């Protein structure tokens, strides 16, 4: 998934904040519990207010992730 995420980050990094949370660390485990995340990879998209907009669990295509980023960006 890293090549896909890195490619999206290059394209959208000036519009979107990307945060990588390490699930093996205490802060990551706490965040996973808060968001009810059960596995990796998980993609959590938040809107401008910091509210959950979309959650994808498992491998996703670049096209899928970009589609939902575009939807969120269009709402601004």
Sign of CA dihedral 39, 45, 50, 53: negative
Q: Model's pTM, two decimal places? A: 0.84
What the chain holds in terms of domains, given with CATH numbers, is 2-74 (3.40.30.10)
Lookup: tokens for 34: 């808060």
φ, ψ (nearest 5 deg) of residue 4: -70, -50
CA-angle at 71, arms to 69 and 46, nearest 5°: 55
Lookup: tokens for 15: 């519009």
Using DSSP bridges, classify how beta strands 52-57 and 42-46 pair: parallel, antiparallel or unpaired. antiparallel
Tens of pLDDT, residue by residue over 21-63, are 888 888 888 888 888 888 889 999 999 999 999 999 999 999 9
7 has pLDDT over 90: yes
């Amino acid at each position: 998934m890293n090549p896909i995420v890195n490619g999206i980050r290059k394209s959208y990094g000036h519009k979107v904040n990307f945060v990588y949370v390490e699930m093996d660390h205490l802060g990551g485990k706490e965040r996973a519990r808060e968001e009810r995340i059960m596995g990796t990879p998980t993609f959590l998209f938040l809107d401008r207010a910091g509210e959950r907009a979309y959650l994808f669990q498992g491998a996703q295509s670049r096209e899928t992730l970009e589609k939902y980023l575009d939807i969120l960006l269009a709402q601004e």
